[in-house]
Amino acid sequence: MDGILALAAANLGSPIILSFALGLAASLARSELTVPEAVAKGMSIYLLFAIGFKGGAAVAANGLDAALIGALLAGAVLSFAIPFVAFGLLRVMTKLSTLDAAAVAAHYGSISIVTFVAATSVLNSQGIASEGYMVAVAAVMEAPAIVAALFLVSRTTGGSGRMDAELWREILLNGSIVLLVGSFAIGWITGEDGLAQISSFIISPFQGVLCLFLLDMGLVAGRGLRQARGVMTAPVFMFGLLMPLLGGSFGLVTGLLLGLSTGGVVLMTTLAASASYIAVPAAMRVALPEANPSIYLTLSLGVTFPFNLTLGIPIYVAVASALTGG
């Protein structure tokens, strides 16, 4: 417990969390501070490229762990399974419609790459190693949740499926998956050498870019919270705090069963606990246009993301360390 608190305190005092808090506070106070859309997208491309590349280079350096295939499969299963749990919980806890509940569920099965990056930062600062291929697991976990949610909708509403070939392509080739998998591959192929060539781009300034990106996420999250006051009932809000713990515990068990390192277990837990706010919302706009975006965006970005960033990750680190003896 003391460990968790110390870790949480250290975490809360880090520049990245404080940058997020600054953005959140600024937009709750209705400051006109904004980050241009193009700059926000540019930073997200940078972060995805850097994290993918470093993961690939780590795999090149350490050799391919036999567990890779297992971890990928497990990630896909988790991403597909978690929406069912989330959907059930939402139906019990809240009054959301089937469509809204399914849309929200899709977000929690999928992952938030920035939460993943934040967890990696914490691991680095604690000196805890993790498997480089967890980046690939993150990529694999982006999409299955969407399929699960659409399945839930068609089963409960009896409507015909809304998946067409075009949507499949869009989901599987969405920007973050392509960039993450692609840069992972490049990092793997070019290895140490490649990393040496571009490390002063993808490693040294990484934490700083992350600060500005989180500042922007704080701004967007705050704006969302302000505008979603109507739809965010207390039970919905509570779901946003409970679900990461529930999802995370599935991730934790999976990580332990796979025999991942302490860091790997933390990352698997974090992935399971995190909720998408880039790829899944865009897919929902296409596939479930009647679902209310305010609900899923605010839950994911305004509630669960800050929770994971501040309290979640330290908890996952503490628990994983205790259970793996790491």
Partner 1 sequence: METHKAKRVAIIIEAPMERRLSDALISAGVTGFSILPVLGGSGRSGKWSREGQVSRAGGMVQVVCIIRPERLDALLDAAFKVVENHIGVVTIGDCEVLRAERF
Which residues of this chain interact with its own copies, rule CB under 8 A? 13-15, 18-19, 22, 25-26, 29-39, 41-42, 45-46, 49, 53, 125, 169-170, 173-175, 178-179, 182-183, 185-186, 189-190, 194, 197-198, 200-202, 204-209, 211-212, 215
Nearest-angstrom CA–CA distance, 77 and 80? 5
As measured in angstroms, the least distance from the Cβ of 266 to its own copies is: 19
Place of tokens 């939402």: 90
CB of 245 to Na ion, least distance (A): 12
What lies within 8 Å, CB to CB, of 218 at 6+ separation is 19, 20, 21, 22, 23, 24, 25, 26, 27
Choice between 46 and 305, CB closer to its own copies: 46
Which one among 74, 82, 86, 283 touches partner 1, defined by CB under 8 A?
Answer: 283
Asked if 182 is part of the footprint of partner 1 (rule: CB under 8 A), the reply reads no
* CA atoms within 13 Å, Cβ hemisphere of 177: 18
As a whole number of angstroms, the distance between CA 305 and CA 163 comes to 28
| Candidate list 281, 302, 312, 314; residue touching partner 1; CB under 8 A | 281
| Residue 27: C-alpha distances to residues 34, 226, 306 (Å) | 9, 8, 15
Produce one character per residue of 253-271: b if its CB has 16 or more CB atoms within 10 Å, e if not. bbbbebebbbbbbbbbbbb
Contacting partner 1 (CB under 8 A), which of 96, 181, 297, 311?
A: 297
State which of positions 232-271 bind Na ion (CB under 5 A): none
Per CB under 8 A, residues contacting partner 1 are 32, 34-37, 40-41, 44, 166, 170, 216-217, 219-220, 223, 227-228, 277-279, 281-286, 289-290, 292-294, 297
Site for Na ion, rule CB under 5 A: 111, 272, 274
